[in-house]
C-alpha cells in the first residue's frame, strides 16, 4: 500500500461575488507516494499545488475524489490528518509569540512526546538547523528567513512519518537552505520518513527528490523520476550567453538566434540540440560576436529546464518542441 493514494481529486473555488468566475484549482488529480519517498510537486504559480496539499492536510474539503493517507480515508476523516502528518504551510505559525525553543518544544509535546523527549528533540533539531543562537528569541522578532527556519524546525519535530512541506526554504540564505535539504534527506535515510515537497527551488531540491509531479492548470502533466523527466527533454543542452554591453545584432548568426532566446537583461538563454549548440559556440567565440561576449556557459539539461519546458506558461520562457504533457 502506498503512503499516500490520491485519486480523482477535484476542487473549485467559487468567489464570494457572483460575477467572479469559479476557479478549478484541482481538476482530477491522481497520484501515489510510496513509503520513504521524497516526492516533489512542481508547477508555476497558481498551478494548484497549495490547494492540493491543503486538502491532504485536512484543511480544505475536496469537491470530489479520494485521499488515503497511511491507510486512513482523509476525505471522510479530515481531523485525523494532524495526527498522521506534519505540515509546514506557506503562512506563518500560530506559535509566533513563542520563542524558537518553546515553539519547537511545544510542537513536540503537541505531537505526543513526553517532556524530556520533547526537550531532547528540541535541542537536536535546533542544533541540526543551526538555530542555537536564536533559540531564546520570539518568532515574531525574527527575520523572514530565520522565522521560516524555525518553522521548519517545528515541522521536523515529533517523529511524524509523513511530512508535507510547502516551500520550506522560502527567504532563506544558502547556508540555511542547505541545512534544510540535509535535514529532510536525513529524515528519509535514517527514519524512512515520507516527504511531499512543494518547491520552486528546483535545482536545489533535485538532489533530494525521488520522484516529481509537475502540475499545471490544476492537472498533473508529468510524473516521473528526475532522470525520467530529463530524458523527455532529450539531449538538449542549455547555452547561456551574457553580452558585455548589447548583443552584436549586426552579426547575422547572432541576430537569427534572438527569436529563440529567453532574454533577461544582457543574458540570452537558449535550449538547443548538441550539434546546434556547437555551431552557436563556434559563432560566438570568434570575431565581433566574441568581442561583444562577456561570458557563456554550456550545461546539460537540469530539472529546472524540464520544469520550464513542461509548465512553461510564464512569459519569456524558451519553449521548444519535443516535450509533451
Ligand X SMILES: Nc1ncnc2c1ncn2[C@@H]1O[C@H](COP(=O)(O)OP(=O)(O)OP(=O)(O)O)[C@@H](O)[C@H]1O
Q: Does 50 bind ligand X (CB under 6 A)?
A: yes
Q: Does 117 bind ligand X (CB under 6 A)?
A: no
Which of 9, 42, 49, 308 touches ligand X by CB under 6 A?
49
CB of 307 to ligand X, least distance (A): 12
Which residue stretch of 45-53, 66-74, 79-87, 242-250 sits at the interface with ligand X (rule: CB under 6 A)? 45-53
Which residue stretch of 42-50, 61-69, 74-82, 227-235 sits at the interface with ligand X (rule: CB under 6 A)? 42-50
CB of 102 to ligand X, least distance (A): 29
Instruction: State how far the Cα of 164 lies from the Cα of 258, in Å rounded to an integer.
Output: 42
Q: Which three cell numbers stand for residue 241?
A: 550567453
- List helix spans (H) across the chain: 49-56, 81-84, 100-110, 115-128, 144-156, 174-191, 202-205, 226-232, 252-257, 274-284, 287-292, 303-311
Q: Does 43 bind ligand X (CB under 6 A)?
A: yes
Which residue stretch of 39-47, 95-103, 268-276, 308-316 sits at the interface with ligand X (rule: CB under 6 A)? 39-47
**Residue 22: DSSP 8-state:** P
Site string for ligand X, 9-38 (x = CB under 6 A): ----x-x-------x-x-------------
Q: Does 199 bind ligand X (CB under 6 A)?
A: no
CB of 150 to ligand X, least distance (A): 21
Q: For helices 144-156 and 115-128, give the axis angle rounded to 10 degrees.
A: 130
Residue position matching grid coordinates 521560516: 148
Q: How many C-beta atoms lie closer than 10 Å to residue 105's C-beta?
A: 24
Amino acid at each position: 500500500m502506498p503512503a499516500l493514494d490520491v485519486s480523482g481529486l477535484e476542487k473549485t473555488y467559487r468567489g464570494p461575488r457572483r460575477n467572479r468566475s469559479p476557479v478549478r484549482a484541482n481538476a482530477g488529480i491522481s497520484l501515489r507516494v510510496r513509503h520513504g519517498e521524497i516526492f516533489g510537486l512542481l508547477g508555476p504559480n497558481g498551478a494548484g499545488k497549495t490547494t492540493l496539499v491543503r486538502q491532504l492536510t485536512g484543511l480544505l474539503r475536496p469537491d470530489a475524489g479520494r485521499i488515503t493517507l497511511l491507510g486512513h480515508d482523509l476525505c471522510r476523516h479530515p481531523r485525523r490528518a494532524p495526527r498522521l502528518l506534519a505540515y509546514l504551510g506557506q503562512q506563518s505559525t500560530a506559535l509566533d509569540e513563542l520563542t524558537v525553543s518553546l515553539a519547537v518544544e511545544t510542537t513536540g509535546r503537541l505531537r505526543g512526546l513526553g517532556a524530556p523527549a520533547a526537550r531532547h528533540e528540541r535541542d537536536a533539531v535546533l542544533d541540526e538547523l543551526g538555530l542555537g543562537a536564536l533559540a531564546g528569541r520570539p518568532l515574531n522578532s525574527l527575520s523572514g528567513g530565520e522565522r521560516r527556519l524555525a518553522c521548519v524546525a517545528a515541522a521536523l519535530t515529533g517523529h511524524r512519518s509523513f511530512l508535507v512541506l510547502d516551500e520550506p526554504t522560502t527567504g532563506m540564505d544558502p547556508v540555511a537552505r542547505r541545512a534544510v535539504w540535509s535535514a529532510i534527506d536525513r529524515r528519509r535515510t535514517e527514519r524512512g520518513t515520507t516527504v511531499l515537497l512543494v518547491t520552486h527551488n528546483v535545482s536545489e531540491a533535485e538532489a533530494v527528490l525521488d520522484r516529481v509531479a509537475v502540475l499545471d492548470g490544476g492537472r498533473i502533466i508529468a510524473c516521473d523520476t528526475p532522470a525520467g523527466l530529463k530524458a523527455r527533454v532529450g539531449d538538449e543542452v542549455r547555452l547561456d550567453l551574457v553580452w558585455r554591453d548589447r548583443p552584436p545584432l549586426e552579426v547575422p548568426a547572432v541576430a537569427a538566434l534572438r527569436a529563440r532566446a529567453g532574454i533577461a537583461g544582457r543574458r540570452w538563454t537558449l535550449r538547443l540540440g548538441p550539434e546546434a549548440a556547437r555551431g552557436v559556440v563556434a559563432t560566438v567565440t570568434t570575431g565581433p560576436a566574441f568581442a561583444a561576449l562577456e561570458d557563456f556557459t554550456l550545461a546539460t539539461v537540469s530539472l529546472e529546464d524540464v520544469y520550464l519546458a513542461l509548465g512553461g506558461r510564464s512569459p519569456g520562457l524558451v519553449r521548444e518542441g519535443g516535450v509533451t504533457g
